[in-house]
């Protein structure tokens, strides 16, 4: 049962990425995706949706807010959003964070954000200033918990130490790029930091821009705005990973993407992988990960294939 450390937020095994809302999924399709995700989430867990102020310049947040209002489910959903850089000169300055938080609250039609991220590190603003304004938002009841996204091991360590030294709310989670074919950046540094600090990890690009769905093969054309990014993984190692995924998926009787997500969810410190679908059909391939149990042998085969 996934629990974000240092919080009382017990969330779904799959965090639904809202980056597609208003981009590759129009509002009606987004509502359908959210409805299916809500229905598929076990009653003991909270549906967990991730968005950001920069996704569609607020469109993603507004669609999510409209859906929660229309369905009357705000109290059931754990909502994560981010203070994003955009065209801001100092995106994590106190003034910019206050403004961003108020905008997100309006877009989401809510009084409180459950998990509020610093979307990207901002070395032009002192960490103490950023952490202090985040603490201010928590104390004001506008944000429940704060987290970091796209921080290096060095800067995350510094941020955690700064929060402790100043006596303000610290980061409870890290959102970072991590999946079966993108491992060293997290495993060779960040993993030790989050493990030692006892904070949770929410990996994005959990399916490697779609590559780990198994759709991308040499010479094949895939209709997706992420096709070029996914194509970067095509090659000997990528083929080895896809072969291992296909083998385990066949053994388990589930879609390939569900196996890739389950492997990721089973890694140390990971709370919930973040993945999105631009249709209900795509989402259907992800949902079985919630009930999937990999054997030690299956997990080891996947790990070895991606080494």
- Are 258 and 285 in contact by the 8 Å Cβ rule? The answer is yes
Q: Determine which one of 37, 55, 171, 233 is catalytic.
A: 55
Q: Is 55 a residue of the active site?
A: yes
Q: Which positions are catalytic?
A: 55
């Amino acid at each position: 049962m996934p629990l974000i450390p240092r919080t009382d937020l017990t969330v779904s095994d799959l965090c639904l990425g809202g980056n597609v809302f208003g981009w590759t999924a129009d509002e009606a399709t987004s509502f359908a995706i959210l409805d299916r995700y809500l229905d598929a989430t076990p009653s003991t867990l909270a549906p967990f949706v991730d968005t950001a102020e920069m996704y569609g310049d607020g469109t993603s947040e507004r669609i999510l807010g409209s859906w929660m209002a229309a369905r009357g489910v705000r109290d059931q959903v754990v909502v994560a959003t981010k203070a994003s850089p955009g065209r801001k000169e100092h995106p994590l300055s106190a003034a910019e964070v206050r403004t961003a938080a108020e905008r997100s609250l309006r877009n989401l039609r809510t009084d409180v954000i459950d998990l509020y991220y610093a979307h990207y590190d901002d070395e032009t603003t002192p960490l103490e200033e950023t952490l202090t304004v985040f603490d201010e938002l928590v104390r004001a009841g506008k944000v429940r918990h704060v987290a970091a996204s796209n921080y290096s091991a060095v800067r995350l360590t510094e941020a955690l130490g700064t929060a402790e030294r100043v006596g303000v709310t610290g980061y409870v989670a890290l959102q970072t790029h991590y999946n079966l074919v993108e491992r060293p950046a997290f495993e060779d540094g960040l993993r030790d930091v989050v493990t030692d600090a006892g904070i949770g990890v929410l990996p994005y690009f959990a399916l490697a821009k779609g590559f780990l769905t198994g759709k991308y093969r040499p010479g094949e054309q895939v209709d997706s705005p992420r096709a070029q990014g996914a194509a970067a993984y095509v090659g000997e190692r990528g083929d080895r990973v896809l072969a291992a995924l296909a083998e385990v998926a066949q053994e388990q009787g589930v879609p390939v993407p569900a196996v890739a997500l389950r492997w990721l969810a089973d890694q140390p410190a990971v709370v919930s992988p973040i993945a999105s679908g631009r249709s209900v059909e795509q989402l259907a391939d992800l949902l079985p990960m919630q009930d999937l149990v990999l054997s030690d042998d299956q997990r080891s085969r996947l790990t070895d294939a991606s080494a």
